[in-house]
């Protein structure tokens, strides 16, 4: 193919270059370079005060950057703020609701704010209520809803104008375990429908399975951005395999230490912790060594480096 005829690369859903925000002498964001691709379910991870909310507020056009640029679907958040507002849905960590209004009245009000025609608003309201699982509560007073249902209503509100990019700041904050699971299932469905979602959260174990890409931020600086597996591989010293044999543990240790693929073997609570030289090595060689020696293998398990452990390794809990 002629390079000159090749189509241009797709515009990222979100892109920041050198994004900086200062408050007097305090720097909340420092030269943040971040790219979120279309269709990503992107986890934005950091301690309280790390700069997550500041970033989302800039992307939502509520806060002007001190330096650098930020674009949403190619629209500059400063120069094209109105265009940005039409393509995003922003859900802050704390948002007010009109507790004396009915659910449908509340959503109809915001539909009118987005100038959705009257004849179309009823169907739009019904569609978003079905999407977030609140159809049965359409006539209920907002003040009578549980915390989890109010969070779902807040999500319905940001969906009312069918935005392409969702900016969700701690959407599962304060929810019980069941409500958190239900919220995460809704977000997965929204991604399946083609939405790009940026979600900040401290519930790292759920982001680990929910998101396809993550960014870790600390003290206003980006520490890592990329696939979830990438951050695990980057921060772990080597693949760890847990092994348990029926007898002759010392013999198993001796055999494993002779293998060039193995960099370390130690006994931890009755099991052998076998550290491989890299993540690319096929760890079936561990089982092969033990079985060929006539030893009985009771357990062989790969150690998963969880996102919470990664977070603790790469951050120091530093905030502004």
Residue 3 is assigned to a structural domain of this protein: no
Give the chain's end-to-end CA distance (angstroms, integer): 51
String of DSSP letters for 39-52: T-EEEEE--TTSSH
Residue 104 is assigned to a structural domain of this protein: yes
Residue 8 to residue 20: CA distance in whole angstroms: 28
Q: Which pLDDT value is given to residue 4? A: 62
Task: Tell me the pLDDT tens digit for each residue of 148-170.
Answer: 899 999 999 999 999 999 999 98
pTM: 0.77
Q: Which pLDDT value is given to residue 303? A: 73
Residue 317 is assigned to a structural domain of this protein: no
Residue 81 is assigned to a structural domain of this protein: yes
User: pLDDT tier at 320 (50, 70, 90 boundaries)?
Assistant: very low
Residue 318 has pLDDT above 80, yes or no: no
The mean-pLDDT minimum among 9-13, 83-87, 92-96, 260-264 falls in 92-96
Does residue 169 contact residue 56 with C-beta atoms inside 8 Å? yes
| Residue 311 Ramachandran class (φ > 0 left, ψ -120 to 50 alpha, else beta) | alpha
| Residues 260 and 154 both lie in one domain | no
| Residues 147 and 256 both lie in one domain | no
Residue 310 is assigned to a structural domain of this protein: no
Among 201, 233, 265, give the residue marking a domain's end.
233
| Residues 270 and 206 both lie in one domain | no
- Where in the sequence is the domain holding 279, given as residue range(s)? 237-304
User: pLDDT tier at 10 (50, 70, 90 boundaries)?
Assistant: confident
| Residues 165 and 282 both lie in one domain | no
Q: Which residue has the tokens 């859900």?
A: 91
Residue 282 to residue 276: CA distance in whole angstroms: 9
Task: Tell me the pLDDT tens digit for each residue of 56-65.
Answer: 999 999 999 9
| Residues 186 and 256 both lie in one domain | no
Q: Which pLDDT value is given to residue 274? A: 87
Residue 315 is assigned to a structural domain of this protein: no
Residue 311 is assigned to a structural domain of this protein: no
Give me 11's structure tokens.
């515009």
| Residues 203 and 278 both lie in one domain | no
| Residues 69 and 218 both lie in one domain | yes
| Residues 77 and 224 both lie in one domain | yes
Per-residue b or e along 245-266, where b marks 16 or more CB atoms closer than 10 Å to that residue's CB: beeebeebbebbeebebbeebe
Give me 85's structure tokens.
């507002």
Identify the CATH number of the domain in which residue 54 sits.
Answer: 3.40.50.300
184 to each of 137, 162, 216, 241, how far by Cα in Å?
Answer: 20, 19, 20, 31
Task: Tell me the pLDDT tens digit for each residue of 197-252.
Answer: 999 987 676 677 889 999 988 889 998 888 877 766 665 556 788 898 988 899 99
| Residues 296 and 164 both lie in one domain | no
Does residue 98 contact residue 106 with C-beta atoms inside 8 Å? yes
| Residues 95 and 45 both lie in one domain | yes
Among 233, 260, 291, give the residue marking a domain's end.
233
| Residues 177 and 275 both lie in one domain | no
Hey, which residues does 41 pair with through a beta bridge? 197
> What are the backbone dihedrals phi and psi of residue 253, each rounded to the nearest 5 degrees, phi first?
-60, -45
Does residue 137 contact residue 103 with C-beta atoms inside 8 Å? yes
Residue 180 is assigned to a structural domain of this protein: yes
Identify the CATH number of the domain in which residue 248 sits.
Answer: 3.30.70.100
Number of domains in the chain: 2
Among 233, 266, 292, give the residue marking a domain's end.
233
| Residues 95 and 207 both lie in one domain | yes
């Amino acid at each position: 193919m002629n390079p000159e005829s090749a189509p241009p690369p797709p515009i990222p859903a979100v892109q920041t270059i050198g994004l900086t925000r200062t408050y007097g002498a305090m720097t909340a964001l420092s030269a943040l370079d971040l790219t979120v691709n279309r269709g990503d379910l992107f986890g934005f991870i950091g301690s309280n005060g790390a700069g997550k909310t500041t970033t989302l507020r800039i992307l939502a056009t509520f806060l002007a950057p001190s330096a650098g640029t930020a674009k949403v679907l190619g629209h500059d958040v400063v120069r094209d703020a109105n265009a940005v507002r039409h393509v995003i849905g922003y859900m802050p960590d704390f948002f007010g609701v009109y507790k004396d209004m009915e659910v449908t009245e509340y959503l109809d009000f915001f539909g009118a704010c987005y100038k959705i025609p009257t004849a179309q608003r009823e169907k739009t309201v019904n569609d978003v209520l079905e999407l977030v699982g609140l159809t049965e509560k359409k006539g209920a007073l907002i003040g009578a809803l549980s915390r989890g249902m109010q969070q779902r209503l807040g999500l319905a509100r940001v969906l009312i104008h069918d935005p392409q990019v969702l900016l969700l700041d701690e959407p599962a904050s304060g929810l019980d375990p069941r409500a958190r699971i239900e919220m995460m299932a809704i977000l997965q469905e929204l991604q399946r429908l083609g939405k790009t979602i940026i979600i900040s959260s401290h519930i790292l174990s759920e982001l680990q399975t929910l998101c396809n890409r993550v960014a870790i931020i600390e003290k206003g600086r980006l520490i890592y951005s990329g696939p979830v597996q990438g951050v695990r591989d980057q921060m772990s010293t080597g693949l760890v395999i847990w092994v348990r044999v029926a007898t002759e543990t010392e013999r198993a240790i001796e055999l494993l230490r002779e293998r060039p693929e193995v960099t370390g073997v130690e006994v931890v609570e009755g099991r052998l912790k076998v550290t491989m030289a890299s993540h690319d090595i096929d760890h079936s060689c561990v089982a092969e060594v033990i079985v060929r020696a006539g030893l009985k293998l009771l357990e062989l398990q790969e150690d998963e480096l969880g996102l919470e452990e990664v977070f603790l390794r790469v951050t120091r809990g530093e905030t502004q």
